[in-house]
Amino acid sequence: MQSSAQQPSIRKNLNLMVMCVFALMLTNVAEARNPQVSSWMKNLSYTSNLEPPAGIVWRDEFSDLSVSGNNVHALWYGLKNDWSDHRFVYRRSINGGSTWEKEQVLVSKLTSGGELVADRSAKHICVAGNSVHIIVPISYPISSQRSWYYRLYYYRSTNNGKNFEAARVLVEGADVWHITQPHIDCNTQRIVIGYKYRANWYDNYQIHLQISDNGGRQFRTANPISNNQDDGNFEDLLLVGKDIYVLHWWLLEPYYFGNFQAKIGLSSSVDDGHSFRNRWLSTTKAKDGRFYALGTKDAYNSPDIAAIGSNVYVIWNQLDTDYKGTRTLMYRRSTNKGDTFGAPIRFYTGGELSSGQETIAAQGNYVYVLFPTTDNKIHLRRSANQGSTFKADTVLSAEGGWWPEVAIDPRDTSGASFYTFWDSPTYRYSNNGGASFDKPLWLHQAFSTGSYQRSHAKATTTGLLHSITNASYYSNSLCGGYCDMDIFYRRVAPTSNSNVVGKGLRLYTSSQTFEDRADNMQVLAKTLNFSAQLTAEVWVKDIGGGIGTGFSDYRTPILFKQRDLKTGYNPGFSLGTMDYFGKRGLVAQIQTTQGSFEVRGQDTGLLGGNTWTHLAVTYNAGQSINNFKLYKNGNLVSMTTAKGYIDAGIGNFIVGRYGNWVVDEVRLWNRALLQTEIKTNLSHALTGKEANLQAYFPFKNTALDVTGHGNNGLFMYKEQYTIGKY
């Protein structure tokens, strides 16, 4: 993957190609809506469940998310399928994302009369306290009064986004001068707005700032970068108190035949933007004696600058030998607010480095750098001494991902607690500075095919995790293929246990189309990587129907532990049913260090329809024979001999996805229970404090693991609490 900044002169052609692809995708959409497959993700693109008028399709993307207190703010860009209109849309929640107010179309091509400038790497919105600030550049065609020109529009709300003041023109560009790459940052005292300013017919780019220290009532102009004879990019903007940092990419010569020479620089101000000093960060030349810095943005907005007090941290990419060289991820630190920098550090060198997708975050004593590689890995470099030294590279995921982010948990001011986040929306949590992590959790419908792109995540002091993404589901029944691109929001909240008696969990899967619905509970498997022994129990009522694994014998697991983080069925252990001469017979599987083993219940192991049945499977590696057993209602149905230790893998524990059930009393033990123990326990609910009990889900209006081991569940589709066994 090449950095977008590496190819400045051909970016216009690439954008045109992308726009053409968008148009082709939109023209092939049969219906405008994505299926409502989840009760836990909100489609922000629509106010109600009503379909839009026939034939009207909006491709919504470039989404951004801001959180201030209990208020959640979303902004996105939408393009109409016939290219007759495009717009910026704002929507807010004032109760922590529980419900959302009607969307507000801030500006559109039809209302403005010009073309809105949308850039995936731009930053259009900033929220501080009750003030919401949004910027949009708009270009205008040649008229009898003026040649082609741009304006920078500013939208302000001082009542937390309830409504916005009339748009103001902050900048009136000269004829045929472009205003692009907008960035905004703010705090409760001031607002800084930046943009790239470049003439149309020759390379002469500048970076201008608009600065307000009175909440957006008035602005003054600053020019940290100006009068470069060649091109460049506005890479990032950071405001810390009164200190302003501008990261920029400067092309030192015209781009031709794949060759270029460029530097990365940081322009900083410690006097509220009245003066700036520039420091070149890419001081290390390639082996051919030239500079080959790459841009820090690959069609996505994520921080490449971070600061803790007087410490400023910057990351970027460059090539090591010549313009065809190997990509290298670089890091530098300043301890005096950007006046001087320490020696550059190479974090990673390799042709598989995904240039422009790296990101950085810092708080307290900790600095985190997250980046993906094209060999399907997410990497972390971390420092516990304010960026002075870094630990060795840590691979957080070997299943791939794009557009990573770091969201530091604001409940921990030391900076040691943080989320790592990447697409498709997946996160991991660490509370010890990255020394160890919880297992990854999906935030999306992992078993419905969807195109998830450029997600953002925010953590709050109330323990909530907010995420936003643009996605399109694949649904034959609704769209005849891929639906349109919409904006989806998900809130992950600390699950409360209301101790409501008599609850179970209803899990449904479509028996007609796999892509529309596959109810399941995803469990953060903190203590479920069993090795020598295990017992898995569940009370289940088979409603009938539902999808299966697709095997020739059509297995429908009720619960299973994934060996990997992929969406395919590859269990470390499982308990469910399979087709047995047209009837649903019981089957349990286990993967060990010695191979795969299976135990089936034949005539005596049939699962009755619409009746509660207790199922259990046990394994004991220390027992020489008949150590893998299957029970129904406490009675031994079948047993076999398996060998080796359990290969539980690194994936999550899943309840559901297949079949059509009501389940209750899911229990996982790190010991092979005796038959007498199984018979005794199945007749009543447990306390959660029993010895060797590692996870327990009574589903009393909660997905919490009530053992306290933290193997908590997360619902994905339209799972519902219902009448349970106990």
Any bridge partners for residue 70, and if so which? Answer: none
d(CA 648, CA 338): 49
- Is the pLDDT at 15 greater than 60? The verdict is no
> Is residue 168 very low, low, confident or very high in pLDDT (cuts 50, 70, 90)?
very high
Q: Does domain 503-723 have CATH number 2.60.120.200?
A: yes
**What tens digit of pLDDT does each residue of 619-657 get?**
999 999 999 999 999 999 999 999 999 999 888 999 999
Residue 646 CB-half CA count within 13 A: 31
Q: Which residue has the tokens 């940290």?
A: 224
Q: For 101-105, 236-240, 534-538, 648-652, which range has the lowest pLDDT when averaged over its residues?
A: 648-652
Whole-number Å distance between alpha carbons of 306 and 313: 5
In whole angstroms, give the CA distance from residue 197 to residue 195.
6
**C-alpha dist (Å) from residue 359 to 89, 143, 245:** 26, 43, 16
pLDDT at 305: 98
- Which among 722, 695, 698 is positioned nearest to 561, based on CA atoms? 695
Give the C-alpha separation, 708 to 711, whole Å.
8
Strand partners, 348: 329
Token pair recorded at residue 239: 């405001």
* CA distances in angstroms from 417 to 363, 384, 441, 458, listed in the order given: 10, 12, 17, 13
At residue 78, the pLDDT reads 94
Instruction: Report how far apart, in Å, the C-alpha atoms of 621 and of each of 259, 559, 628, 677 are.
Output: 61, 21, 9, 19
pLDDT per residue as tens digits for the range 314-343 = 999 999 999 999 999 999 999 999 999 999
Distance CA 105, CA 76 (A): 10
pLDDT at residue 48 greater than cutoff 80: no
CA distance 491 to 98: 8
Measured distance CA(182)–CA(11) in Å, rounded: 17
pLDDT at residue 11, rounded to an integer: 34
17 pLDDT exceeds 60?
no
Q: Pick the residue with more confidence: 552 or 83? A: 83
Residue 413 Ramachandran class (φ > 0 left, ψ -120 to 50 alpha, else beta)? alpha
Q: Range with the lowest mean pLDDT among 137-141, 398-402, 527-531?
A: 398-402
CA-based nearest residue to 178, from 356, 11, 3, 355: 11
Q: Per-residue pLDDT for 524 more than 70?
A: yes
For the cut 50, the answer to whether the pLDDT of residue 5 exceeds it is no
- Candidates 152, 119, 141; CA nearest to 12 is 119
The predicted pLDDT at position 55 comes to 65
Cβ atoms 159, 220 nearer than 8 A: no
Residue 16 has pLDDT above 50, yes or no: no
**What does the pLDDT read at residue 499?**
66
Q: Give the position of tokens 């908590």.
A: 712
Q: pLDDT tens digit string along 428-452?
A: 999 999 999 998 999 888 887 778 8
Nearest alpha carbon to residue 543 among 495, 581, 577, 594? 577
Percent of the chain with pLDDT over 90: 73
Q: DSSP 3-state assignment of 387?
A: coil
Domains of the chain, by residue range, sit at: 4-492, 503-723
Would strands 612-620 and 474-475 be described as parallel, antiparallel, or unpaired? unpaired
Say if residue 28's pLDDT is above 60: no
pLDDT exceeds cutoff 90 at 32: no
Lowest-confidence pick of 7-16, 575-584, 628-637: 7-16
d(Cα 45, Cα 61) in Å, to the nearest integer? 10
> Residue 400's pLDDT is what?
81
CA distances from 666 to 127, 439, 570, 575 (A): 43, 20, 20, 11
Span of 419-433, 485-499, 529-543, 568-582 with lowest mean pLDDT: 485-499
Q: What is the pTM assigned to this prediction?
A: 0.91
pLDDT at 516: 73
The alpha carbon torsion through 636, 640, 641, 642 (nearest 10 deg) reads -100
Q: CA 515, CA 507: separation in Å to the nearest integer?
A: 15
Q: What is the spatial distance between Cα 455 and Cα 62, in angstroms, rounded to a whole number?
A: 9
Between CA 516 and CA 38 the distance in angstroms is 9
Euclidean distance between CA atoms 238 and 334, whole angstroms: 15
Do domains 4-492 and 503-723 share one topology? The answer is: no
Q: Mean pLDDT, to the nearest integer, of 75-101?
A: 94
Q: DSSP letter at 284?
A: P
Work out the average pLDDT over 483-492: 92
The CATH topology of domain 4-492 is Methylamine Dehydrogenase; Chain H (2.130.10)
